[in-house]
Amino acid sequence: MKFKIAHTNFNVMDLEKSVAFYEKALGLKVLRKREASDGSFILVFMGDEVTEHQIELTWLRDRKEPYDLSDNEIHLALVVDDFDAAYEHHKNMGCICFENKAMGIYFIEDPDGYWIEIVPQRK
């Protein structure tokens, strides 16, 4: 038996704002969208067009309060080929929420408070 990772889900409050963030911050593209026939949810799958792994953004119509992310220890990590350019881009966007210079990484925060780790490509 062999498994491979398909996607990571983030529940979001404002779907358009989240899609725009992932497009601008990480260059992800909308790959497909699914809407419930009764309008109760919308799923948007985004990807980097390099790997098969996708992010599933889930919007629930009846959700009114922000999601409790607890200690936010669960996160997504992306490797970037030009770390310095990515850092400047995210700094200009104002979305860097934590830096660990000793490890050579930093985190950005999406509109719903999810943290995304940015890791330099290691050779």
Positions annotated as catalytic residues are 117
Residues 40/60/4/76 CA torsion (nearest 10 deg): 170
Q: Which amino acid belongs to residue 19?
A: V
**Cβ-based neighbour number of residue 103 at 10 Å:** 9
Among the listed residues 78, 89, 95, 107, the one whose alpha carbon sits nearest the alpha carbon of residue 8:
78
Nearest to 118, CA basis, from 1, 89, 92, 70: 89
What one-letter code names the amino acid at 12? V
